[in-house]
């Protein structure tokens, strides 16, 4: 017979996350993986097999132990540890409404703080490096034209890699003003404008692949050699292929991924003076504070540049106040 923990977890993942909240399959899988690890922790560290794991076993002390186990045994990063805690907190926030008798226990777990970590720098390419990367595909070949269009669309829309993989012909509008409809986290759709050059590449690409007819509205825009839509791994492989061709050593040695192109677009928009609320809408962020990382990163880069220029102009040599006769006379006269 299933335990109360097993029953509650099944309802949370299916009826609540996938049903009521309409979370994407990737989000549900992420939550599922957190609880798989939690079950393994109880089995291996607490000697509680999955078939006997109940809600009474899962208190704040156990969750703190689980978080420590992630770092000490599995060597997870602080960000991964905090991600697991967020998933658990979501479960127990839901549990409060399902079982009010456990509200105090749930609130003890919700009070567990996330671990602070140093603010990581935003990894992004310069405008020139981005131009070099996007110019690498050989546009005289069919494959090269696909890759050039893919890279241009990924950068121009600042799409998440899964959003690009899921892009269908129906989602692309080439009539002025050209735009792409991207469906992201929580199945939320946003409309992102396309630059003229990207729109021209897409128009030529769709015509070449005979995707510009009405009966192809639901077809994936970017497909592999077998005619199936490209996966996230496939898109990452394409980027890595052209990075390996780069003559710029900084670009060739950069930690490059589809998400770095998303960061790059956001940084370029901010440096060009585009207001943060507009960048937030393009990226599909829920909270403006998430978008502010680009403002902080840009400010820090400007500070380092200014320090490099003015390092020998402004001196930090200050006189000792207690050796300043004029200041001492003024103080004595008060």
Q: Active site includes 145? A: no
SS3 state at 244? coil
Which of the following is catalytic: 16, 155, 205, 294? 294
* Choice among 146, 190, 262, 268 that is catalytic: 262
Give the sheet arrangement for strand 179-183, strand by strand.
172-173, 179-183, 189-193
Instruction: Indicate which residue of 102, 145, 146, 160 is catalytic.
Output: 160
Q: How far apart are CA 285 and CA 191, in angstroms?
A: 13
133-150 burial code (b ≥16 CB/10 A, e <16): bbebbeeeeeeebbbbbb
160 assigned to active site = yes
Token pair in block for residue 10: 């099944």
259 belongs to the catalytic site: yes
Catalytic choice (21, 32, 229, 259): 259
294 is catalytic: yes
Q: How far is CA 310 from CA 180, 249, 300, 313, in A?
A: 44, 28, 15, 5
Catalytic annotation, pick one of 21, 185, 191, 232: 185
Active site positions, annotated: 160, 185, 259, 262, 285, 294
């Amino acid at each position: 017979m299933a335990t109360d923990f097993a029953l509650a977890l099944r309802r949370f993942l299916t009826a609540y996350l996938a049903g009521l909240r309409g979370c994407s399959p990737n989000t549900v899988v992420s939550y599922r993986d957190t609880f798989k690890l939690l079950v393994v922790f109880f089995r291996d560290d607490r000697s509680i097999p999955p078939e006997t794991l109940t809600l009474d076993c899962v208190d704040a002390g156990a969750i703190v132990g689980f978080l420590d186990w992630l770092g000490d045994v599995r060597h997870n990063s602080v960000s991964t540890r905090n991600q697991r805690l967020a998933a658990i907190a979501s479960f127990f926030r839901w549990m409060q409404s399902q079982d009010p008798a456990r509200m105090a226990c749930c609130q003890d777990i919700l009070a567990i703080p996330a671990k602070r970590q140093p603010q990581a720098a935003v990894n992004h390419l310069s405008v020139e490096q981005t131009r070099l990367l996007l110019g690498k595909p050989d546009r005289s070949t069919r494959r090269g034209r696909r890759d050039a269009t893919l890279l241009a669309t990924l950068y121009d829309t600042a799409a998440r890699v899964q959003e690009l993989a899921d892009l269908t012909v129906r989602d692309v509008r080439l009539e002025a003003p050209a735009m792409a409809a991207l469906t992201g986290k929580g199945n939320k759709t946003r409309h992102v404008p396309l630059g003229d050059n990207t729109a021209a590449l897409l128009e030529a690409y769709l015509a070449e692949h005979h995707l510009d007819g009405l009966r192809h509205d639901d077809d994936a825009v970017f497909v592999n050699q077998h005619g199936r839509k490209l996966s996230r791994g496939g898109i990452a492989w394409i980027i890595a292929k052209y990075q390996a061709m780069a003559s710029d050593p900084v670009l060739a040695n950069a930690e490059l991924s589809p998400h770095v192109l998303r960061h790059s677009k956001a940084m370029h928009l901010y440096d060009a003076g585009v207001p943060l609320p507009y960048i937030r809408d393009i990226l599909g962020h829920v909270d403006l504070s998430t978008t502010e990382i680009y403002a902080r990163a840009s400010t820090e880069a400007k500070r380092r540049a200014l320090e490099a220029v003015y390092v020998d102009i402004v001196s930090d040599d200050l006189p000792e106040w207690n050796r300043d006769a004029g200041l001492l006379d003024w103080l004595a006269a008060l």
